[in-house]
Structure 1
Amino acid sequence: MVHQADLPGNWRKQEQTTGAEQYAATLRFEKNGLYVGTAEPAGAFTWWDQGTWEIRGPTTLALSTANDEVVSYRFELVGDELRITDADGRSVRYRRGD
């Protein structure tokens, strides 16, 4: 099982399914339960801009979104690869890095 301590750090988008362009190009998860997402190009909209995060089960990650709603996503963390999938099946794969 993945624990809160496993997610903090910097993550960069590696690939996405069609329709997942709205999700951040980079994510930084902090140990205190906050995160910051950035879009590319800079200044573009991202649904995951900044807010809170929490692991709520073995495959559930809750993120507060651009409109402050807390949304649960399915996720998988294997080594330095993180895949987040929304309720519509759109997924984004991130790799841990600086």
Structure 2
Amino acid sequence: MTAHDPRLVGSWQKIDDAACAAKYAAHLRFEPTGLYFGSTEPAGGFTWWDGGTWATEVPGRLALSIANDEVVIYAYSLDDDTLTVDDPSGCRFRYRRAL
């Protein structure tokens, strides 16, 4: 059975504009079913996080299927309504829970 951290479910807005994070979605929505949807700002641009599956089999590790269908593991932490993500290259960026 695939594990999903229920605290991630919902909508998120990227709050960092680090150059290394430009390829990641500006808006994310995690569904409790294990699917996620990402979009860019402005709409229609390319993002590695366009949509696919997500899981948290290991605490603090988020597995996402990215645009080329590869599953990549990211480190993550939650502090209230702020989601911090570290990609495998060491890029750190944050999202805030959207209301």
Structure with greater strand percent = 1
Deviations 1:29-48 (A, max 9, x none): 00000000001111100000
- 1:90 aligned partner: 91
Report the TM-score when normalising by structure 1.
Answer: 0.92
Q: Distance in 2 between matches of 1:82 and 1:10?
A: 11
Q: Secondary structure at the match of 2:47?
A: coil
Q: Distance in 2 between matches of 1:34 and 1:56?
A: 15
Letter in 2 for 1:67: N
Runs of 4+ aligned structure 1 residues displaced above 2 Å come to none
Question: Is residue 2:48 matched to residue 1:47?
Answer: yes
Q: Distance in 2 between matches of 1:16 and 1:83?
A: 13
Letter in 1 for 2:47: T
CA RMSD of aligned residues (A): 1.1
Q: Which ranges of structure 1 fall in alignment gaps of 5 or more residues?
A: none
Q: Distance in 1 between matches of 2:72 and 2:59?
A: 16
Contact 1:81 1:95 in 2 (8 A): yes
Report the TM-score when normalising by structure 2.
Answer: 0.91
Q: Distance in 2 between matches of 1:76 and 1:16?
A: 18
- 1:5 aligned partner: 6
Instruction: Count residues with an aligned counterpart.
Output: 96
- 2:79 aligned partner: 78
Report % sequence identity.
52
TM-aligned CA deviation for residue 16 of structure 1: 3.9
Q: Distance in 2 between matches of 1:19 and 1:6?
A: 25
